[in-house]
Amino acid sequence: MTATQKKRLTTSAMIASIAAEGQPTQPAPFGHALVELARQRQDIVGLTADLSKYTDLHLFADAYPDRFFQMGMAEQLLMSAAAGMAREGFTPFVTTYAVFASRRAYDFICMAIAEENLNVKIACALPGLTTGYGPSHQATEDIAIFRGMPNLTIIDPCDAHEINQVVPAIVDHQGPVYMRLLRGKVPLVLDKYDYRYQHGKAQRIRSGKHAVIISSGLMTMRALEAAEELEKRGIDVGVVHSPVIKPLDEATILKEAGEAAIGGRLVITAENHSITGGLGEAIAATLMRHGVAPRFRQIALPDQFLAAGALPTLHDQYGISTSAMVAQIEQWILS
């Protein structure tokens, strides 16, 4: 292969992994964690809208067929049925694609689940730009849609290590939860940092004297990779992981951003979501309300319908790949 030739991308647009070549992964962490939890909790039931295989809920269906409910392609019914089960004392775990939950079933989640503060856990695959199937499947605005819904907790886990911990944690949380689900072969990242999920908390993963990245979801993985590469170039970047988008851990974020402002460090938010209405804007509003004013930049997807194609190409194109982050942060730091 010559220097000008590129390896042909053969991954499926629907199920392409976000893991880099050779990166450790764990298969179906959500499905396995839920099966393990259900051994201890008889109240847990699983429901999906014809997507058990593509949300890793098939593992639960195989283990507990009498506690699994296939609702067909009817997301509004799916949410209403989960609400009814929650009213009867069950703890439903509901899976579908993030686009279908946020766009198609919003009113049913709002009226049937959130208004009554019912104990329904909604885990949705293909969040943000994790599929190459184009706007019909890319939930680039799901957080923006859900952030305004009262009572709803929003979680964006980074990797398999964190998903394993989030599943039992959200069962202990009273009220509805929306979790962005990474499925299939999910990278293992945070185990190297002795990270433990703390419900409702943001945590510093590494320190840095030039900038701090506050990130969620897969972008924490990318932020840590970018920080390692930037360190080779003499740029020291810290990373703060904020898996819970709502309610935001304002105390930790204000502390980190306040220290950055005093030290002249750049604060960067990074998210696998539209630049409109997500983690970056939530943090920016928090800083403004409390009078904290560091240098501030956002890494996020553009406010537009995105193209279809192979994920590595799309991540480069829209600025959320590791290499794209490195180039952008280096430019900000050196300018």
Catalytic residues: 75
Contact indicator for 226, 206 with CB cutoff of 8 Å: no
Residues 6 or more apart whose CB falls under 8 angstroms from that of 136 comprise: 99
Query: How many whole angstroms separate alpha carbon 237 and alpha carbon 231?
Result: 7
